[in-house]
Structures are given as C-alpha cells and as structure tokens.
Chains A and B, each alone.
Chain A
C-alpha cells in the first residue's frame, strides 16, 4: 500500500467535498406531471401520474375509477332483459357489441339458440358497431398526433354507419336491440341495399385515412418503434384484440371459438403485424375496419330468411347455473361470467372488459419514453374510459 501525504489526502478530501457540493447544487428535482383526469389527450377521465426528468418519463401509472358506474352490481337488481340497456353503455362507441356476449351467456344457460337469420343480423350489427368504433379511433389518432383534419372525415363517415344502426334498431348510440332468443325486430325495407352503399363509402374512408396518415413520413417517425410490446409481454399482461394481434399473436375470438354467430359462415382474414409498435397497432385496426366492411357485405349476400325470434317464455327465468361467454369486441376480448340462481335477474355478473386489461401494460410501456410519446402510446393502445371503469 502506498503512503499518501497529508497534503495529498487533504486535497483529495477537498476535491471530493467540492464535487459533492456541485452535485447538490446542480441536482434537479424530478417533476411530477399529472395528466388528467381532465385533459384533452385522455378521451374520458383517465388520469396518468408521470414522474418526469426533463421530458423523459421515469415512472408512470394510470389511475382509473373516476367514472366507475357500478354496472356489475346494478345488474343484480335488474331482470335479464333489462341488463342489455345497462351494458351497452360500457364501450359507448361500439355499444351493440356489448350486448351480444351477455345475451349469448343467458341463452346458453337457458339452452336455446337464436334462429339463423337473427344470428346473421346480430353479426352484421356487431361488425357495424366495430366499424363505428374503430373509424373514430382512426380519426382521433390524427388529433392525438397533431393532425386535426382526419377527425372531421371520421365523424362525417361514421354518421352513415350510425344512421344504419339507427335504421335497424332505433337507437344511434344505445340500440338495446338484442333479446334473449333473437332480436327485437327484423330489418326494415331497403336497409340491405343502403348498407352495401355505406360499406363502399367506409372503404373509401379507410383509403383516405391511409393516404392522409399512414403514408405520412412524420406519422411514421412518430409511431414506428414507439411503445414496442414484444409477443411474450403482450401475452403476460393479458392483452387482447388488435393490440395483441399487432404483436404478432394470431388470435381472434371470432374465428377461434364456435359461438352461435355467423362469422364462420363467410370467409375473412385475421390481420396481424409482427412489429408490436404503435404503427403496427394502428395499421392492424385500419385493416380490420376494411375487413369488417367485407364481412358485412358477404353476410348480406348470404342472409337467410325466416323468423328473428325463437320461442321464449313470456317471463324469462334463467335456470340455475354459471356461464362464461366472451367475444372479440372492437376493443378486444369482452366477456361476461353470469351466475344465475333461477331468478328473474342474474345473481352475479363479472364483466371482463378489454380496455382494463389493455391499459394494465401502461406503467411497463411508459418507462423511459418522452412526454409526446405518452400520447402516441395511449392513442395507439386505444381504450374507452367506460370500458375501463365500467
């Protein structure tokens, strides 16, 4: 061990002390940025608490529950037919799709099945609500990234789809059209031809968005490589829907399970992307919207005739039992676990909504990104607040 003189030792201590002093002086505190619950970027009342170092996110956490409406509890004091009026307010943009899994679960417990025409019309309305939902996403995506024009195109063309839903069901946003054992009514006259025309319009809208956004270099530079979710992480966090398919997992409940619905009657394709970044998620949704228009057209071609309602008792009592049905909703897997004790209403309903599981990945995903990328990532994950908080 070499000996060092007092002088050197003192100099060393002094230099260390000086360094420490400088570090204390220059050390900047991080900043906690509270994004939401009222904020233009979070569609609804989601709150993100982010710890920032300059513009970089050190730590972020979503805080939800600002819009909790207690639907799971409310279903316990409703009769089975009344529940659809509640649950189509969960994902309010694609409301018809929320009714279907609940009705299917009740039908499974009662061991009845809707007639083929009702199954077809259910599937058509399901896909129409998907188009209404995702077309708004495609417009809103531009707003989140700073391009304000696409959202006006989205609202313009979504109107046609909402008119169709209104024409068939009587409700633009909350149809409440699905019944245990079939549907409330048959399709009105002329609806089929009108739907064909609107589907062409929606494909044109998809092309428009593709030209306006997806071909744009700035859009690509903002979304490519941002918020990458690898395949295994996506599976671990229980993601579903387009977010999962964009990570390269070929999983679509419309194809992978057999339900009394009409998806297996026609040919269609499940779109996947291998990148897992924000661009991939947006791209998969765009392709799915286009694919949905084809599904609707092919279902209209093969629409069977017959009744839209099977024989059900006047007062519906669901026999004792438990059933789990989930479908591929616009936002991802949505399922209902229904427990019945043989009463007029369900004993207990557990709702598995897609957005709640999809945003559980947010703390993992936001670590180390820049503030503008928070918005890109949240926009590309695509959640509806009603679907998170229920």
Chain B
C-alpha cells in the first residue's frame, strides 16, 4: 500500500499531505461544523436559522467571512498595539498546531509523531498565552477580567484533561495517536472482536472527564465565565473587530472540531473500523481506500462529539468561576486519579 507514496520524493509527499489535509479535511470539516451548528442551534431554539445566503443558508459562512473582512480593523487608543495584533494569531496557531498530529487514515496524517498525545496536550495550552495577551493588551477592564478568568480556568482544566488521557495511554501502551487508533480497532473485548475495543467502553470515566475538560478549554457554556457576554460584554474579545475577531471566532469553532477529532481518536477508535470486519490484523493490512474512507469516518464521529459539546452549550447556564475551580480541583482531579489507578491495576491484572 506504500507503492504510491514511495515513488514520489519526500518533499512531494509532504506537500501532498499538507494539501490533502487542508483541502480534504480542514476546509470541509470547518464548513460542515459551522453550518451544522447554525442549523442545530436554531432548531433547538425553535427558529429557522440562516435562510437567505444560498439554499437553506448554506452559503452563510462565506457571507459572514465577507462581512468581517470588510469591517474596519479597530485598535483601541491605549492598547499595546503589537501584542494586541498578534494575540488572535497565537490562539489560531494553537489550533493548527493541534491538528498536526491527528491521524485521519492509515497514510493520511501530517506527522506520525511518537509522543503525539504529549504534543497535543502541550500545544493546546498555547492558546492560554494568546488569550492572556489579548486580555491584557486591550486596555479594557472587561478584557482584563476576562483574560485573567480564562487563564485561571484553562490552567485548572488542563490537569484533569491530561489525567484523563493517561488512562488511555496506559491501556494502549503508546503515546502515538496512530498506535492508539490501531490498538482500539485491532483489540477485542474478552475475545470478541466484533467492535474492536473502543476505549469509550473501558475508559468511560476518562471520556466523560475529557469531554468536560474540553468544554472548559473551549470556554463554552457552562464554563464560559471568561467570555460571559451578559456581564463582561465579551471578555477578552471585547475590543476586537473585523478579521481579528474573525480569527478568534474561527479559532473557537475550529478548536471545538479539533478537540472532537482528538477525543474521537482517543476514545472512539479514530479513523478505523473494527479490523475484524475485513480480516485485517494490523496497520499494514489496512486497504488503501481507508485513506479516503477514514477521514469521512472521523468526520462523522467528530460531528457526533461536537453535537454533544454544543448541546450542553445551548442548554446550560454558566458556572461562577469559583464554582468551576472547585469543580475541577475537588471533583474532576480526584476522580481521574482514581481512574488512572484502576486502569493500571486492571492493566497489570489482565
């Protein structure tokens, strides 16, 4: 199956991967997530949502991007202009760095990185820097409060997220995301391999903690205290307009999508189907069509997870920030520590 890729030089392969990733995965994924959200949110709130731009509002994303690009790029008078301008780029960069390690198929990956989990968790926290910079440099009291709240919250929820992933890493015996996918799809539950062994079943506690932490990392309701539009206007984004606001906005939804990708890799079996269905035993048996089918499978799983994230977002009120800190430190972290202990004991026992 490496026949196609081995005949072209390394730089060509890299270019193909980049183009393939950007064109075949990121753009459609972003568009679908966005439109899906628009419509889903509208139906939950008993309204129609966008209907004017294109059939059933399907061109709404282009209309919005066009609108934002035309807007004036405002800079507050007393803002620290360099930091103010670079902050949204850092937030967006964290999202794009995050997608680099996600495998979409047996060969459809950007980098096959041995410490992939470690890398993903590390770069996901880069966005905190951007948010703090945005909050501080705006020279606005609401932005400052929002930025500081965001910093406290993101750091507090990083820990349960890491601890939740540790359970998966112990069970798979690898930090490579590709290996984690293979371990799930080639695995078996007590000898029955009809479903593989998605860690959603064995690591259910970890999955719940991971999704809660993702919700907090994305600053979505009920953890949206940093943005809190009814009290802090828009938190750290208050002073942004035009395409810099667009970057924050894209960052928010794209990060939701990317975190859903990572969650589907860690807990739902990623791009794979259970290998026993086609008689595969390892990654080397997997047919080449999975490079096309894999991304679609990933997309389906991602949409399911994004649906859960947004469902919670649209139906819950928000926590106060002392309550959400207490929730992270007193509930999530102890539970995830117990989960790690149970996982390692069971791993040794079986």
Bound form: Cα–Cα A156–B48 in Å? 12
* Smallest CB separation, A154 vs chain B (Å): 11
Q: State which of A41, A152, A372, A374 has its C-beta within 8 Å of the C-beta of B47.
A: A152
Most chain-B Cβ atoms within 10 A of its Cβ — which of A33, A35, A148, A373? Answer: A148
Check B231 against A219 for contact (C-beta < 8 Å).
Answer: no
* Smallest CB separation, B275 vs chain A (Å): 42
* Smallest CB separation, A206 vs chain B (Å): 16
Q: State which of A35, A145, A152, A212 has its C-beta within 8 Å of the C-beta of B318.
A: A145
Check B317 against A146 for contact (C-beta < 8 Å).
Answer: yes
Q: A residues near B, CB below 8 A?
A: 31, 33, 35, 39-41, 55, 142-149, 152-153, 156, 212-213, 216, 218-219, 221-222, 370-375
Check A152 against B46 for contact (C-beta < 8 Å).
Answer: yes
Q: State which of B145, B230, B315 has its C-beta within 8 Å of the C-beta of A149.
A: B315
Instruction: Give chain B interface residues in 117-145, CB to chain A under 8 Å.
Output: 141, 145
Bound form: Cα–Cα A40–B232 in Å? 9
Please tell me if B281 contacts chain A, counting CB pairs below 8 Å: no
Check A149 against B317 for contact (C-beta < 8 Å).
Answer: no
Please judge, given known A-B contacts A146-B222, A152-B45, A152-B47, whether A213 and B231 are in contact too, CB under 8 Å: no
Instruction: Give chain B interface residues in 45-62, CB to chain A under 8 Å.
Output: 45-47
User: Which A residues touch B314, using CB under 8 A?
Assistant: 147-149
Bound form: Cα–Cα A31–B142 in Å? 11
Q: State which of A39, A143, A144, A371 has its C-beta within 8 Å of the C-beta of B145.
A: A371
User: Which B residues touch A156, using CB under 8 A?
Assistant: 46
Q: State which of A55, A143, A153 has its C-beta within 8 Å of the C-beta of B46.
A: A153
Please judge, given known A-B contacts A149-B44, A152-B45, A152-B47, whether A374 and B231 are in contact too, CB under 8 Å: yes
Q: Per-residue 0/1 for B192-234: is the Cβ within 8 Å of any A Cβ (1 yes, 0 no)?
A: 0000000000000000000000000000011011001111010
Please tell me if B319 contacts chain A, counting CB pairs below 8 Å: yes
Please judge, given known A-B contacts A147-B317, A218-B317, A221-B323, whether A375 and B231 are in contact too, CB under 8 Å: yes
User: Which B residues touch A213, using CB under 8 A?
Assistant: 317
Check B46 against A144 for contact (C-beta < 8 Å).
Answer: no
- 14 pairs, A vs B, C-beta closer than 8 Å: A41-B231, A145-B318, A147-B317, A147-B318, A149-B44, A149-B314, A149-B315, A152-B47, A212-B315, A218-B222, A221-B320, A370-B321, A370-B322, A372-B321
User: Which A residues touch B44, using CB under 8 A?
Assistant: 149
User: Which A residues touch B322, using CB under 8 A?
Assistant: 370
User: Which A residues touch B319, using CB under 8 A?
Assistant: 218, 221-222
Bound form: Cα–Cα A371–B316 in Å? 20
User: Which A residues touch B229, using CB under 8 A?
Assistant: 40
Q: State which of B46, B141, B145, B316 has its C-beta within 8 Å of the C-beta of A216.
A: B316
Bound form: Cα–Cα A232–B309 in Å? 45
Bound form: Cα–Cα A291–B316 in Å? 27
Residue of B with least CB distance to A140: B230
Besides the known contacts A212-B315, A219-B317, 14 further A-B residue pairs in the complex with CB atoms under 8 A apart: A35-B231, A39-B233, A40-B229, A41-B230, A145-B318, A147-B315, A149-B44, A153-B46, A213-B317, A216-B317, A218-B319, A221-B323, A371-B145, A372-B320
Bound form: Cα–Cα A144–B317 in Å? 9
Number of A-B contacts (CB under 8 A): 77
Instruction: Give chain B interface residues in 320-337, CB to chain A under 8 Å.
Output: 320-323
User: Which B residues touch A152, using CB under 8 A?
Assistant: 45-47
Most chain-B Cβ atoms within 10 A of its Cβ — which of A33, A146, A148, A370? Answer: A146
Check B141 against A31 for contact (C-beta < 8 Å).
Answer: yes
Residue of A with least CB distance to B323: A221
* Smallest CB separation, B244 vs chain A (Å): 21
Bound form: Cα–Cα A142–B44 in Å? 15
Bound form: Cα–Cα A216–B145 in Å? 27
User: Which A residues touch B225, using CB under 8 A?
Assistant: 372
Check B317 against A372 for contact (C-beta < 8 Å).
Answer: no
Residue of B with least CB distance to A38: B233
Bound form: Cα–Cα A55–B221 in Å? 20
Check B315 against A144 for contact (C-beta < 8 Å).
Answer: no
Residue of B with least CB distance to A147: B317
Check B145 against A145 for contact (C-beta < 8 Å).
Answer: no
User: Which A residues touch B323, using CB under 8 A?
Assistant: 221-222
User: Which A residues touch B233, using CB under 8 A?
Assistant: 39-40
Bound form: Cα–Cα A123–B230 in Å? 35
Check B321 against A146 for contact (C-beta < 8 Å).
Answer: no
Please judge, given known A-B contacts A39-B233, A40-B229, whether A146 and B316 are in contact too, CB under 8 Å: yes
* Smallest CB separation, A40 vs chain B (Å): 6
User: Which B residues touch A221, using CB under 8 A?
Assistant: 319-320, 323
User: Which A residues touch B141, using CB under 8 A?
Assistant: 31, 33
User: Which B residues touch A41, using CB under 8 A?
Assistant: 230-231
Check B318 against A218 for contact (C-beta < 8 Å).
Answer: yes
Bound form: Cα–Cα A219–B317 in Å? 6
Residue of B with least CB distance to A151: B45
Bound form: Cα–Cα A232–B221 in Å? 37
Check A146 against B315 for contact (C-beta < 8 Å).
Answer: no
User: Which A residues touch B230, using CB under 8 A?
Assistant: 40-41, 143-146, 375
User: Which A residues touch B231, using CB under 8 A?
Assistant: 35, 41, 371-372, 374-375
* Smallest CB separation, A103 vs chain B (Å): 37
Bound form: Cα–Cα A212–B314 in Å? 11
Most chain-B Cβ atoms within 10 A of its Cβ — which of A35, A149, A372? Answer: A372
Check A370 against B320 for contact (C-beta < 8 Å).
Answer: yes
* Smallest CB separation, B225 vs chain A (Å): 7
Bound form: Cα–Cα A374–B230 in Å? 11
Q: Which 8 A-B pairs have the closest CB atoms?
A: A146-B318, A145-B317, A152-B45, A147-B317, A375-B231, A146-B317, A372-B320, A41-B230
Bound form: Cα–Cα A321–B44 in Å? 57
Bound form: Cα–Cα A370–B323 in Å? 12
* Smallest CB separation, B36 vs chain A (Å): 17
Please judge, given known A-B contacts A40-B230, A221-B319, whether A147 and B221 are in contact too, CB under 8 Å: yes
Check B224 against A146 for contact (C-beta < 8 Å).
Answer: yes
User: Which B residues touch A147, using CB under 8 A?
Assistant: 221, 314-318
Q: State which of A31, A33, A222 has its C-beta within 8 Å of the C-beta of B317.
A: A222
* Smallest CB separation, A135 vs chain B (Å): 15
Check B320 against A142 for contact (C-beta < 8 Å).
Answer: no
Q: State which of B45, B228, B316, B321 has its C-beta within 8 Å of the C-beta of A218.
A: B316
* Smallest CB separation, B147 vs chain A (Å): 13
* Smallest CB separation, A42 vs chain B (Å): 10
* Smallest CB separation, B345 vs chain A (Å): 32
Bound form: Cα–Cα A148–B221 in Å? 10
Bound form: Cα–Cα A159–B306 in Å? 32
Bound form: Cα–Cα A322–B248 in Å? 62
User: Which B residues touch A31, using CB under 8 A?
Assistant: 141
Q: State which of A40, A55, A142, A219 has its C-beta within 8 Å of the C-beta of B321.
A: A55
